[in-house]
Amino acid sequence: MAGPVDDRLQYRPEHFEADGALRDVCILNAQPEAWQRMIEGLSAAPWRVVFQWTFAESPAEGTLLDAREIWGHLEEDQDESASLSVQVENIWFTCYFFDPGEIEFTFDPADIEDEKSFTAVREFVRRLGDATQQEVIVTMEGTDHATMPALLMYAPIDRTRGKDS
């Protein structure tokens, strides 16, 4: 169980040094419902949200997407791919629909110059965790996030119990 909600969402410049690698914002063990709650939560935010298919016609911005339909289309067409990009202030967070069991957004740490620009990361991580009601971690770029040390962590408050989940 995580400590206070904000215990691991502190700005540390060393986590955002421009080193050529991206940073990943992840929800591990994601269920289909978490994907839909993520889409709905981000769509309700005051941010620009853009969904794109690689080959198929992409829906207009502002269209509420259905996660099961996205995954169904990707399963049917092995050549197709999809991305969901969210702009928070001047930072873009992009999710590529690779693994239904893990929600993963990437962002460029070079965009985080100070505490003020870090606010966008904090807001995005909180919104993602609150929407899905799952723990969110930020790691270095990688493929096995479960074994990587978290640079940032957010555990949303479980509103049914009134404490950290």
* Residue 6 counted as domain residue: no
DSSP 109: G
Could you read off the pLDDT of 45-74 as tens digits, one per residue? 999 999 999 999 999 888 889 999 999 999
Cβ(23)–Cβ(141) below 8 Å: yes
pLDDT tier at 158, thresholds 50, 70, 90: low
Which of 150, 30, 46 has the alpha carbon at shortest distance from 97? 30
> What is the domain extent for residue 28?
13-164
Q: Establish if 28 belongs to a structural domain.
A: yes
Mean pLDDT of 95-116: 95
**Is residue 71 in a domain?**
yes
Give a yes or no: residue 5 inside a domain. no
Please report whether residue 8 resides in a domain.
no
Domain membership of residue 4 (yes or no) is no
Residue of 94, 103, 123 lying closest to 6 (CA atoms):
123
Structurally, the chain folds into a number of domains equal to: 1
Does the pLDDT at position 162 exceed 90? no
Q: Does residue 2 lie within any of the structural domains?
A: no
pLDDT at 35 over 70: yes
Q: Decide if 46 is inside a domain.
A: yes
- The pLDDT confidence band at residue 25, using thresholds 50, 70 and 90, is very high
Asked if 115 and 108 touch (Cβ cutoff 8 Å), the reply is no
List, in sequence order, every residue forming a beta bridge with 51; answer none if it has no partner.
84
Q: What is the pLDDT of residue 157?
A: 77
